[in-house]
Structure 1
Amino acid sequence: MRWVLRYSGIIALILAIFALEAMARDLDQDEALKLREEGVIMPLEQLLHRALGLYPGARLLEAELEEEDDVYIYEVELVTADGTVRELELDARDGRILKDEEDD
């Protein structure tokens, strides 16, 4: 009986991890272009200008468009002039900064 409880806990943990991953979905370039043309999201270039303005001398490392709970989010990684890597999340509809933290 103990092994059943132990394994049921492990199974529950695995299912929880899959559920968290299912909440966020990366969008490909065709989906992003369609959303931009429809006026649903702002152009990445415009939002990058705003994000890079927060950290003068920063360079872009990576940018992705994700959909999380029906919200479109640009996830942007920057390296600042002093070499610090920062991860920002921007609301793709209006450019609001949802998260700005040092990346590990």
Structure 2
Amino acid sequence: MNTAAKLMIATLMGLTASTAVLADDVPHNQVQSLVKEGTILSLDKLDKVATDKHPQAKITDTDLEHEYGRYIYQVELRDAQGQEWDLDIDAISGELLGEERD
């Protein structure tokens, strides 16, 4: 293997490792502190953003991640027809960033 190929592989491995560091799950005890400090909206308000978007749906799972310097609240829902939805909500502003049907 030539030097250029080795350099490319090393660069790709470094990018992969650094990407993994950019998205971290926030531990539950830290979530409560972030809410209490006013850094992020309350979980009830963030859940309401999701249920306002899908009024007949039930929340099945939630997760808070710190990605690229932002707190992203991820919500999984199941609607009345059994469809599953994944929503990403900005945990600071409450803005719906995206949704995807599973």
Q: What is the TM-score normalised by the length of structure 1?
A: 0.83
Give the residue type in structure 2 aligned to 1:83: G
Give me the whole-angstrom Cα distance separating, in 1, the residues matched to 2:18 and 2:83.
Answer: 32
Paired residue secondary structure (1:65): strand
Question: Which residue is equivalent to 2:67?
Answer: 68
Question: Which residue is equivalent to 2:35?
Answer: 36
Q: CA RMSD in A?
A: 1.8
Aligned pairs, how many?
Answer: 102
Q: Confirm or deny that 1:45 pairs with 2:44.
A: yes
Gaps of 5+ in 2: none
Question: Which residue is equivalent to 2:82?
Answer: 83
Give me the whole-angstrom Cα distance separating, in 2, the residues matched to 1:22 and 1:37.
Answer: 25
Paired residue secondary structure (2:55): coil
Identity of matched residues, %: 31
Which deviations, in whole Å up to 9, do the C-alpha atoms of 1:28-58 show, x marking residues without a partner? Answer: 1111111111111111111112211211221
